[in-house]
Structure 1
Amino acid sequence: MKKILPLFLLFLGLAAQAQDIKVSTKDNDLKLPTLPYYNFGRGLGLTSPDSLFQLNIRFRMQNRVTYIQNEGEEAAYDGQVRRLRLRFDGYVGNPKFLYALQLSFAPGDVGEIEEGENINIIRDAVVYYRPNKSWSFNFGQTKLPGNRQRVNSSGGLQLTDRSINNAKFTIDRDFGFQAHYLNDYAEKFSYNVKTAVSTGEGRNWTKSNDNGVALTGKVEILPFGAFTKDGVYFEGDIAREKKPKLMLSAAFQQNNHARRTQGQLGDDLFEQRTMKSVMLDAIVKYNGWAAMSSYMSRTANNPVTVNPEDAQDIKYVFTGSGMDYQLSYLFPTNYEIIGRFSTQKVNDDIRQYAPNTKQYSIGLTKYIWEHAFKLQGELTLDDLNYFDGSTKQNWYLRFQVEIGI
């Protein structure tokens, strides 16, 4: 971090000196479909006088405090910087060749540092070739074309976190190749097709060489045309769509010989398993109203793996399915009320290890500068139903401030 900060300050100084340079975005709008990042403007930009390279600098942070009451435990609170990100993007030599780099520094992003494990500072490091407005090819580490809530930037969420189903069934970031065919039109039928071939082990994996790949495909259909300001990449109708907009999407992934309990995420399994994931999404926005629904599932044959040196030590693929339902309304005063209900059911073969869960969330958000600067309050209740018939209720109350450029 000490090395990054001087570079960041240097970039700020260069950007200030270059403010008289005219930055053209006609050929390079940086609409990178695998790396959505909600921003009100364009961050800080620097273009060389000969237009051979362009650099945009953005940052964002989330500061939060949470009061937690888990049944059977003493009440507690948690205060932390939940996310702290730096993003750099632009092009080199030609606007058709783009790059994007995103670094994370908050403990919740990086994770606990363990001996022999990589430090997860790198979130995205990807190179793009975009020959025209329809085709996009990329190579590197970034988000896969998965469920809608994961593809959204965490900075574009209405509530302070994604749902319990996203936490368990998402396919997240990975290293590999992607090809996207994009057909977005403002007022007529549109569709997008996105594909990926990746390692399947998640970001920053170097523990061992791979003998399997993950194959991912996604189709997005927009019957009434594209959303205003790429509204599929942020929650809520802050653009106040003048006409109803709808997106329907379906994604599938087969992760062959995966090594982790959730594919790209989770603990290491004792044996590799092949997993299949299905993700369906629907979004409707109109005049301040936004409704979203999602279905996610994961299956695997024989999901439980056993430590060969200790039969009591097991690791299992998290198999099951879940549904999310989310509804919100944005008042003209830029206050928004949000409600979300999620159900999660684990498959029978891991039922004794994980509970079925229902989650209820309500939230109030004040947008000061759209999603780039907002205040969020959230109350969430979890109902857990265990294999032996016992139940538990946990809840938390949270306040969060998000700011970025």
Structure 2
Amino acid sequence: MTKSIYSIFLFFFGFFFTQNLYSQISIKQTKSDNDIKLSTLPYYSYGKGIGMTSPDSLFQLNIRFRMQNRVTYLKNEDENGAYDGQIRRLRLRFDGYVGNPKFLYAIQLSFAPGDVGEVKDGENINIIRDAVITYRPNRHWNLSFGQTKLPGNRQRVNSSGGLQLTDRTINNARFTIDRDFGFQLHNMNEFKDRFSYNFKAAVSTGEGRNSTEKPDDGVAVTGKIELLPLGAFTKDGTYFEGDVLRESKPKLLLSGAFQQNNHARRTQGQLGDDLFEKRTMKSVMIDAMFKYNGWAAMSSFMSRTTTQNALTFDLNNTSNMKYAFVGNGFDYQLSYNTKSNYEFIGRYSIQKVGSDIKNYAPNSKQYTFGITRYIWEHAFKLQTELTFDTLEYYNGEIKNNWYLRFQVEIGI
């Protein structure tokens, strides 16, 4: 117990000492919004990174990077406490146009071990996150081809660099539809102070990023609608969490998405380990976001079902089993950002697994409290958070785990 209290003291001392050091830095906004922002790749950024345009204006290239360095103290029930330090994310992004600003491209590469994942025999190295070409004939339409994020739940569509806390929710980890290769068509209708709406659709392989599996006859079909009853958020504020810009008028986003992934090979559709048998999966994602005068609130519902039993078995050894992760969950998040750019965040998540897998996976609850110090909006920030997890197993066993984390994010 003494060691745990000491660890908590060290984390919070480090957080506030470091932020006081950086609070003396004065950084002013001198650049406008990114004029080639793609709705298919809505990564929040400050300015344009390092940009180059050819003298004849036939091509443009912007280069950006960001990294997240973190240290965590973890204490799981019935286990000794442990420290973990790592580069959680290290990303390099290139975007621009070729020949004409209507023909856009975006490339994003990842290099951190947590991004790339463990290298396994017969599998690809997951360095490529995004490689997509977009034709934008006007401000209302985008047609994209390549690998990028699908129009799924709000938190997944947001960049990990635009999060208030250091990671997404436990429900996002289980029920998101993530990246895929295919075609996307977006119809964007956003206006400053009046009713706005967006329609998004995708047809993709359903296999996730960088897949070279044997082709099959299954594809994933995704559709999404977004409503902004009070008009568009400031500086595309739907694409980052927290009211860092302190909206002068109330802003609200309501959205719903559905995907059917036919003959999916993996436990979470586009993510997870390979199943022994394919399963058709259906995902539903509903989100709400509100911002006003430093206050921000988010809520979401996510679910996944299968058209057959979620359990799959190895035909050569029926004792080997893998399951599609089915179930549903709710997330609730509330925050306030002060005028001096200290943000206080609370989040609660509840997750219930489907009846097919209740003997193999626990129901979960997660409580998180965090403090973020924004030095240069989301591009340079200091984050600390305390998280408690409760796992409830089918046999009545309950486990309680917690961790404390400090993270620095910086990028251009």
**1:338·1:363 contact (CA, 8 Å) conserved in 2?**
yes
1:233 aligns with 2:235: no
> Deviations along 1:383-403, whole A, 9 cap, x unmatched?
000011000001100000000
Identity %: 73
Q: What count of residue pairs does the alignment treat as equivalent?
A: 381
**1:123·1:141 contact (CA, 8 Å) conserved in 2?**
yes
The counterpart of 2:218, out of the listed 212, 219, 222, is 212
The counterpart of 1:51, out of the listed 48, 51, 57, is 57
Distance in 1, Cα, partners of 2:138 & 2:382:
38
Which amino acid in structure 1 is aligned with residue 394 of structure 2? F
The counterpart of 1:319, out of the listed 299, 304, 326, is 326
Which amino acid in structure 1 is aligned with residue 140 of structure 2? S
Which amino acid in structure 2 is aligned with residue 291 of structure 1? A
Q: Which residue of 1 aligns with 2:396?
A: 389
Q: Which residue of 2 aligns with 1:39?
A: 45
Q: Secondary structure at the match of 1:228?
A: coil
Distance in 2, Cα, partners of 1:105 & 1:30:
25
> Deviations along 1:111-170, whole A, 9 cap, x unmatched?
001111100000000000000000000000000000000000000000000000000000
**1:199·1:210 contact (CA, 8 Å) conserved in 2?**
no
Q: Which residue of 1 aligns with 2:7?
A: none
Distance in 2, Cα, partners of 1:135 & 1:39:
22
The Cα shift of 1:208 comes to 1.4
Name stretches of at least 5 consecutive residues in structure 1 with no aligned partner: 1-23
1:290 aligns with 2:296: yes
The Cα shift of 1:92 comes to 0.2
Q: Secondary structure at the match of 1:266?
A: strand
Alignment of 1:168-179 (within 5 A): 168-179=174-185
Q: Which residue of 2 aligns with 1:249?
A: 255
Alignment of 1:315-354 (within 5 A): 315-354=322-361
> Deviations along 1:306-345, whole A, 9 cap, x unmatched?
0112211111000000000000000111000000000000
Which amino acid in structure 1 is aligned with residue 313 of structure 2? V
The Cα shift of 1:25 comes to 8.9
Q: Which residue of 2 aligns with 1:19?
A: none
Q: Which residue of 2 aligns with 1:16?
A: none
Distance in 2, Cα, partners of 1:233 & 1:210:
34
The counterpart of 1:358, out of the listed 334, 358, 365, is 365
TM-score (norm 1): 0.93
Root mean square deviation of aligned Cα: 1.1
Alignment of 1:69-218 (within 5 A): 69-218=75-224
The counterpart of 1:401, out of the listed 377, 402, 408, is 408
The Cα shift of 1:222 comes to 0.1
Distance in 2, Cα, partners of 1:399 & 1:38:
21
Distance in 2, Cα, partners of 1:235 & 1:380:
18
**Which segments of structure 1 move beyond 4 Å, counting only runs of 4 or more?**
none
> Deviations along 1:173-215, whole A, 9 cap, x unmatched?
0000000000000000000000000000100000211220000
Distance in 2, Cα, partners of 1:308 & 1:259:
16
Alignment of 1:374-385 (within 5 A): 374-385=381-392
Which amino acid in structure 1 is aligned with residue 348 of structure 2? F
> Deviations along 1:229-276, whole A, 9 cap, x unmatched?
100000000110001000000000000000000000000000000000
TM-score (norm 2): 0.91
Which amino acid in structure 2 is aligned with residue 328 of structure 1? S
Distance in 2, Cα, partners of 1:112 & 1:35:
25
Distance in 2, Cα, partners of 1:238 & 1:209:
45
Q: Which residue of 1 aligns with 2:14?
A: none
Distance in 2, Cα, partners of 1:37 & 1:151:
8
